[in-house]
């Protein structure tokens, strides 16, 4: 006998069943979820280089922070807009087939709307359409990492994309092959350290006397900044947010015999990294690991709007300069870093036969 109550229950069950297939389709939700704490560049959060695990959902929490920063030794200030408080934003690492689940938080103290466009993602302007948040809002985006490589992410609010990007809003997502990096012959490659160098071209307005102007908010700086941007002539070209951010006591470090992966991103403008006294043993110039890396490069080219990766095993100790080999940009505008390498000198690779001294007749 079917009661009214049972009929209602049946309807409820039917409704539940009707929604069940939709729920069942979201396979990603059933996967293991892992939360990763982001760290400021040049460092990269701990990660496995290869994995036998099943794909996971990797969750990241990313606040957007607008703040005034100093970009050179003269105390020039800049109204930066940042992912997670750093320029570039933090490097995120996942493996091919994993899902990136990012919660983007636009702090209430900010003045601008922001979003995020992942070059690694497919659809909705790289996720920008689904993550547009005003101050005091947050949004969560999930996408599948289907292609391997180092990929730029950047802010992309309609009508203001270029300004937000050159204000500091870019970073790198690295999608590693599940079985790790390989050379052009398919042999496995391993790195002992990984550093992210994010290059920024800055366009800071000057007053009538030629002194850099200081502003109280990004909005106040906007009109003047746009004028400088339209000259396509940056006032500063810096690594990791400021001249000297990666030199002297802030230098990157390594030991002789260690292999270092250098990720280099430029979200807006072309550049050409070069390690003075070293090389790129294996270089993914376009940054995409399904393409075989190039061997023994002296300088590599990073297209504006992309990231590249270079692997180098240090063979001699000393202080290496890592520069944008437009040397005017390196020396005059700021695009230079140091790598301090400890270890034993190899005379066979290089030896000073006689030190500088008076010219001897021969």
- Binding region for Cu ion (CB under 5 A): 114, 155, 164, 169
- By beta carbon distance, the residue nearest Cu ion is 155
Catalytic residue positions, numbered: 114, 117, 119, 154-155, 164, 169, 274, 298-299, 325
| Shorter beta-carbon distance to Cu ion: residue 107 or 315 | 107
Q: Sheet of 280-284: strands edge to edge?
A: 236-239, 193-202, 259-266, 306-313, 280-284, 294-297
Distance CA 61, CA 78 (A): 25
| Shorter beta-carbon distance to Cu ion: residue 114 or 236 | 114
Minimum CB separation of residue 169 from Cu ion in Å reads: 5
Distance CA 282, CA 27 (A): 37
Minimum CB separation of residue 214 from Cu ion in Å reads: 21
Minimum CB separation of residue 182 from Cu ion in Å reads: 36
Rg (CA), the chain: 24
The SS3 call for residue 307 is strand
| Shorter beta-carbon distance to Cu ion: residue 7 or 134 | 134
Q: For residue 262, what are the CA distances in angstroms to 253, 314, 347? A: 12, 12, 26
Q: For residue 305, what are the CA distances in angstroms to 150, 162, 267, 287? A: 11, 11, 4, 11
**CA nearest 210: which of 76, 328, 332?**
76
Minimum CB separation of residue 15 from Cu ion in Å reads: 42
| Shorter beta-carbon distance to Cu ion: residue 218 or 280 | 218
| Shorter beta-carbon distance to Cu ion: residue 56 or 269 | 269
Minimum CB separation of residue 155 from Cu ion in Å reads: 3
Distance CA 176, CA 263 (A): 13
Q: For residue 273, what are the CA distances in angstroms to 27, 242, 308? A: 41, 17, 10
DSSP annotation of 16 reads: H
């Amino acid at each position: 006998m079917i009661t009214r109550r049972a009929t209602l229950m049946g309807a409820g069950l039917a409704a539940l069943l009707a929604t069940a297939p939709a729920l069942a389709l979201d396979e990603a939700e059933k996967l293991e979820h892992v939360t990763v704490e982001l760290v400021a560049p040049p460092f990269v959060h701990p990660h496995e280089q290869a994995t036998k695990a099943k794909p996971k959902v990797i969750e990241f929490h990313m606040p957007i922070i607008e703040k005034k920063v100093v970009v050179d030794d003269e105390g020039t200030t800049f109204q930066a807009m940042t992912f997670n408080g750093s320029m570039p934003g933090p490097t995120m690492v996942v493996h091919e087939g994993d899902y990136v689940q990012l919660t983007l938080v636009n702090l209430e103290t900010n003045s601008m709307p922001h979003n995020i466009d992942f070059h690694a993602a497919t659809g909705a302007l790289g996720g920008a359409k689904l993550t547009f948040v005003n101050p005091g809002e947050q949004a969560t985006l999930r996408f599948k990492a289907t292609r391997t490589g180092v990929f730029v992410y950047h802010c992309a609010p309609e009508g203001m994309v270029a300004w937000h990007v050159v204000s500091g809003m870019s970073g790198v997502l690295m999608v590693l092959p599940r079985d790790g990096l390989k050379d052009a012959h398919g042999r496995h490659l391993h790195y002992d350290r990984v550093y992210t160098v994010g290059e920024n071209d800055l366009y800071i307005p000057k007053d009538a006397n030629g002194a850099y102007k200081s502003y109280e908010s990004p909005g106040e700086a906007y009109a003047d900044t746009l004028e400088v941007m339209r000259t396509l002539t940056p006032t500063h070209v810096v690594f990791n947010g400021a001249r000297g951010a990666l030199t002297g006591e802030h230098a990157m470090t390594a030991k002789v015999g260690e292999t270092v992966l250098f990720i280099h991103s430029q979200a807006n403008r072309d550049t050409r990294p070069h390690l003075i006294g070293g090389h790129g043993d294996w270089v993914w110039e376009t940054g995409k690991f399904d393409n075989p890396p190039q061997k023994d490069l002296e300088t590599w080219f990073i297209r504006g709007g992309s990231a590249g990766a270079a692997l180098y095993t240090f063979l001699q100790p000393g202080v290496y300069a890592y520069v944008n080999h437009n040397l005017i940009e390196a020396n005059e505008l700021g695009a230079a870093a140091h790598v301090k390498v400890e270890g034993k000198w190899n005379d066979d690779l290089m030896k000073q036969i006689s030190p500088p001294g008076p010219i001897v007749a021969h």
